[in-house]
C-alpha cells in the first residue's frame, strides 16, 4: 500500500516490474553483443591463446637457460598488460550483473588485440610513467563511481598501441605528395645509403628485401591491387621494384608484378622465391621482361612467413603463420608436401649441413634433411618472429620480441644449446652477416636497427629508420639492407 502510494505520488520513478524488464533487455542485448564479439574475433583469439600456451610451455626451459633475463622479459610483458587492464577489471566489478556479460567480452578483446602491440610500448621511463598515471587515474575514477568517466578505461590501452600508427599508416601518409616530400627529406638525412635515384615520388613502404645474385635485389610491397598499403588511400604507384647495383650502389631498374605483403625471399635457379597467401611465387628477369611463376598451396592461411631454398635437393620450404605447417615445394614439377609441426609463425632456414631449422614463436625445430622428420625441439623465445642462422657453423640468432636476442650454438652432437643473449627493445627481425661477425636486428618500435658484435656480444651501433620498418637482410659481404618507408637502406660495416 505504502509503495503504491509512493509510486503514485512520484510518477517519474520507474516501477519495479519495468526495471526488471529493462534489466532483461540489457542482459539479452549484452549477451548477443558478447557472442558477436567472440564470433567475429575467434580466429584472432585462437592464435593469441595458442601463443600464450606455447609461451608458458617454453618458460621453464628458458628460465633454466637464461634465467634472470627471461624473468625480466616475462615480468615486463605482464606488467604492461596488467596496468592497462586494471581499470577495466574494476569497471567490470562495479557494473551491475546485467552489464558484465558484454563488458567481459569487450575487455577480453581489448587485451587480445593490444597485448602483441604492447611489447613495442613503454620504450622509455616516460612511457612507463604515462601508462602508470593513466591507469591510476582511470582506476580512481571508476572506484569513486564518477559519472560519465567509464570511458577513461580506454586510455591505458592507447599507450600500449603507441607504436602502431607510424608502422601501419605510413602507406596512407606516403600516398600524399606533400607528406612524401617531407618523408623523402627525412630519409636523405639518415645514415646509410638509399638507392642512387630515389626520389620523393618513389617513397613508399616496402616489406621484403630479397637479393638475387650480387647485382639484383627485389623489393616487395603492396601495390594498387592491394589497396596500395594505404588503408583506403588511393595510390596507383608500383609496390615492388627490381633494383640493380651500379658502382656499389643500388638503382631502380623496373617495377615488378610480384606485389603484396611479402617477406624475405630466397634464390634458386636464377629466380627469387617468396611465400604469399596460398602460393609460392617465383620471379626472374629475362632480358627486358619479367617472368613470374605461381605454385598454389592448399592452405587457408592468410599469411606466409619466410622461405628457404635448398640448392642440393632443389626444394623450397615455406612456413605458415597460423596453421602450424611447413610446405615443401618442388618448383620443377610443382608438387607440394605439407609437414605439420603444430606451432605458429614458422620461419624455415636451411643450415650449412642441409638440415632445415624452423623457428616458431617459442621453439627451434630441427628437421631431418632426408625425410623432414622432427629430430629436435628447443625452447628459444617467449614470442619470436625473427630467426637467422650463421652460414658457417649454424648458430641460431632468435629475436624475442619481449626484449631479448638469444644465440643458440651447436654442441658436439649438433644439438642446439643456449650460448648468450643481449637485451634489446622489442627485437623483431634478425640477420647474420656472411662472416658471422655481426648480427643486425630490427625493433618493433618502428625506428631502431641494432648492430651487435658477435664476439663481444655488445651493441656497437644503433641506426635510425622507419616509419614502417620491416624486413632486414644481407645484400653484400659487408652490407645489410632494411626496408621501410624510404624503400631500402643499405648499411656497410
Bridge partners (DSSP) listed for residue 218: 210, 242
Distance from C-alpha of 288 to C-alpha of 291, rounded to nearest angstrom: 10
pLDDT bucket at 14, cuts 50 / 70 / 90: very low
Note the pLDDT of residue 229.
Answer: 55
Same domain, 271 and 141: no
pLDDT bucket at 4, cuts 50 / 70 / 90: very low
pTM of the model: 0.90
Q: The domain containing residue 340 runs over which residues?
A: 264-379
* 16 burial type by CB count under 10 A (0-12 exposed, 13-18 middle, 19+ buried): exposed
11, pLDDT greater than 50: no
Domains in the chain, number: 2
21, pLDDT greater than 70: no
pLDDT > 70 in the chain, percent: 91
Distance from C-alpha of 177 to C-alpha of 201, rounded to nearest angstrom: 7
Considering the domain boundaries, does residue 394 fall inside one?
no
5, pLDDT greater than 60: no
Note the pLDDT of residue 131.
Answer: 98
Note the pLDDT of residue 302.
Answer: 83
pLDDT > 90 in the chain, percent: 75
The H or E element that residue 74 is part of is helix 67-94
Asked if the peptide bond before residue 467 counts as cis, ω within 30 degrees of 0, the response is: yes
Per-residue model confidence as pLDDT tens digits over 350-385: 999 999 999 999 999 999 988 889 999 999 999 999
DSSP letter at 193 equals: B
452 contacts 423 by C-beta, under 8 angstroms:
no
Which of these three, 379, 413, 441, is where a domain ends? 379
Strand, coil or helix: 33: helix
Which of these three, 327, 358, 379, is where a domain ends? 379
Mean pLDDT over all residues of the chain? 90
Same domain, 30 and 155: yes
Same domain, 43 and 154: yes
308 contacts 367 by C-beta, under 8 angstroms:
no
> For the range 284-293, what are the long-range contacts, defined as Cβ-Cβ under 8 Å and sequence gap of 24 or more?
284/212, 285/216, 285/242, 290/242, 290/254, 290/256, 290/257, 292/257, 292/258, 293/331
6, pLDDT greater than 60: no
29, pLDDT greater than 70: no
Distance from C-alpha of 294 to C-alpha of 274, rounded to nearest angstrom: 10
Considering the domain boundaries, does residue 59 fall inside one?
yes
Same domain, 147 and 23: yes
Note the pLDDT of residue 133.
Answer: 98
Distance from C-alpha of 134 to C-alpha of 152, rounded to nearest angstrom: 8
Note the pLDDT of residue 8.
Answer: 43
The H or E element that residue 208 is part of is strand 208-212
Considering the domain boundaries, does residue 459 fall inside one?
no
Per-residue model confidence as pLDDT tens digits over 158-207: 999 999 998 888 888 888 999 999 999 999 999 899 999 999 999 999 99
Note the pLDDT of residue 224.
Answer: 86
Same domain, 145 and 268: no
Per-residue model confidence as pLDDT tens digits over 120-156: 999 999 999 999 999 999 999 998 887 788 899 999 9
Note the pLDDT of residue 42.
Answer: 80
Same domain, 24 and 147: yes
332: CATH: 2.130.10.10
Considering the domain boundaries, does residue 273 fall inside one?
yes
Q: Count of residues for the chain?
A: 493
Same domain, 153 and 22: yes
Note the pLDDT of residue 2.
Answer: 42
Question: Which residues lie closer than 8 Å to 236 by C-beta, 6 or more apart?
Answer: 224, 228
Considering the domain boundaries, does residue 357 fall inside one?
yes
pLDDT bucket at 280, cuts 50 / 70 / 90: very high
Considering the domain boundaries, does residue 409 fall inside one?
no
Note the pLDDT of residue 41.
Answer: 75
CA distance between the termini of the chain: 90
Considering the domain boundaries, does residue 37 fall inside one?
yes
Instruction: Name the grid cell of 308.
Output: 628457404
* Vertex 120 angle, CA 104 and 106, to 5°: 10
Distance from C-alpha of 384 to C-alpha of 428, rounded to nearest angstrom: 7
23, pLDDT greater than 80: no
Mean pLDDT of 54-72: 97
Which of these three, 162, 185, 209, is where a domain ends? 162
Distance from C-alpha of 388 to C-alpha of 430, rounded to nearest angstrom: 6
Task: Please tell me which residue, 432 or 95, carries the higher pLDDT value.
Answer: 432
List, in sequence order, every beta strand (DSSP E) within 331-468: 335-340, 347-350, 356-359, 363-367, 374-379, 384-389, 396-400, 404-410, 416-423, 427-432, 438-443, 448-453, 458-464
Considering the domain boundaries, does residue 90 fall inside one?
yes
DSSP letter at 119 equals: T
43, pLDDT greater than 60: yes
Note the pLDDT of residue 356.
Answer: 97
Please tell me the least confidently modeled range out of 113-117, 171-175, 237-241, 415-419. Answer: 171-175
27, pLDDT greater than 80: no
183 contacts 485 by C-beta, under 8 angstroms:
yes
Amino acid at each position: 500500500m505504502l509503495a503504491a502510494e509512493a509510486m503514485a505520488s512520484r510518477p517519474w520513478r520507474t516501477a519495479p516490474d519495468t526495471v526488471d524488464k529493462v534489466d532483461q533487455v540489457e542482459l539479452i542485448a549484452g549477451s548477443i553483443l558478447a557472442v558477436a564479439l567472440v564470433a567475429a574475433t575467434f580466429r584472432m583469439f585462437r592464435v593469441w591463446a595458442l601463443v600464450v600456451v606455447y609461451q608458458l610451455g617454453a618458460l621453464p626451459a628458458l628460465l633454466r637457460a637464461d634465467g634472470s633475463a627471461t624473468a625480466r622479459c616475462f615480468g615486463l610483458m605482464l606488467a604492461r598488460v596488467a596496468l592497462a587492464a586494471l581499470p577495466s577489471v574494476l569497471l567490470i566489478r562495479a557494473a551491475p550483473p546485467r552489464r558484465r556479460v558484454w563488458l567481459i567480452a569487450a575487455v577480453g578483446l581489448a587485451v587480445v588485440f593490444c597485448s602483441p602491440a604492447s611489447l613495442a610500448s613503454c620504450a622509455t621511463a616516460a612511457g612507463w610513467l604515462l601508462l602508470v598515471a593513466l591507469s591510476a587515474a582511470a582506476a580512481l575514477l571508476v572506484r569513486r563511481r564518477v559519472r560519465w568517466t567509464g570511458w577513461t578505461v580506454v586510455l591505458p590501452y592507447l599507450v600500449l598501441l603507441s607504436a602502431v600508427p607510424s608502422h601501419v599508416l605510413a602507406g596512407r601518409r606516403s600516398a600524399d605528395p606533400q607528406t612524401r616530400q617531407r618523408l623523402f627529406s627525412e630519409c636523405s638525412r639518415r645514415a646509410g645509403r638509399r638507392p642512387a635515384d630515389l626520389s620523393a615520388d618513389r617513397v613508399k613502404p616496402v616489406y621484403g628485401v630479397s637479393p638475387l645474385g650480387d647485382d639484383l635485389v627485389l623489393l616487395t610491397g603492396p601495390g594498387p591491387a592491394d589497396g596500395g598499403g594505404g588503408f583506403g588511400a588511393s595510390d596507383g604507384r608500383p609496390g615492388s621494384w627490381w633494383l640493380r647495383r651500379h658502382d656499389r650502389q643500388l638503382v631502380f631498374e623496373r617495377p615488378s608484378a610480384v606485389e603484396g605483403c611479402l617477406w624475405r625471399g630466397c634464390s634458386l635457379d636464377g629466380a627469387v622465391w617468396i611465400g604469399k597467401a596460398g602460393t609460392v611465387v617465383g620471379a626472374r628477369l629475362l632480358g627486358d621482361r619479367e617472368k613470374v611463376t605461381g605454385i598454389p598451396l592448399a592452405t587457408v592461411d592468410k599469411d606466409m612467413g619466410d622461405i628457404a631454398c635448398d640448392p642440393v635437393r632443389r626444394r623450397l620450404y615455406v612456413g605458415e603463420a597460423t596453421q602450424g605447417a611447413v610446405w615443401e615445394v618442388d618448383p620443377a614439377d610443382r608438387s607440394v608436401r605439407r609437414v605439420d609441426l603444430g606451432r605458429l609463425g614458422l620461419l624455415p632456414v636451411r643450415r650449412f649441413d642441409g638440415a632445415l631449422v624452423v623457428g616458431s614463436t617459442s621453439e627451434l625445430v630441427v628437421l631431418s634433411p632426408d625425410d623432414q622428420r622432427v629430430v629436435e625441439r628447443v625452447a628459444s623465445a617467449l614470442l619470436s618472429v625473427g630467426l637467422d642462422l650463421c652460414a658457417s657453423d649454424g648458430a641460431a640468432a632468435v629475436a624475442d620480441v619481449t626484449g631479448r636476442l638469444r644465440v643458440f650454438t651447436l654442441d658436439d652432437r649438433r644439438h642446439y644449446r643456449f650460448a648468450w643473449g643481449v637485451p634489446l627493445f622489442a627485437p623483431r627481425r634478425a640477420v647474420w652477416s656472411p662472416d658471422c661477425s655481426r648480427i643486425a636486428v630490427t625493433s618493433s618500435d618502428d625506428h631502431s636497427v641494432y648492430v651487435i658484435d658477435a664476439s663481444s656480444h655488445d651493441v656497437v651501433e644503433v641506426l635510425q629508420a622507419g616509419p614502417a620498418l620491416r624486413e632486414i637482410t644481407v645484400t653484400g659481404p659487408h652490407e645489410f639492407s632494411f626496408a621501410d618507408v624510404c624503400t631500402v637502406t643499405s648499411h656497410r660495416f
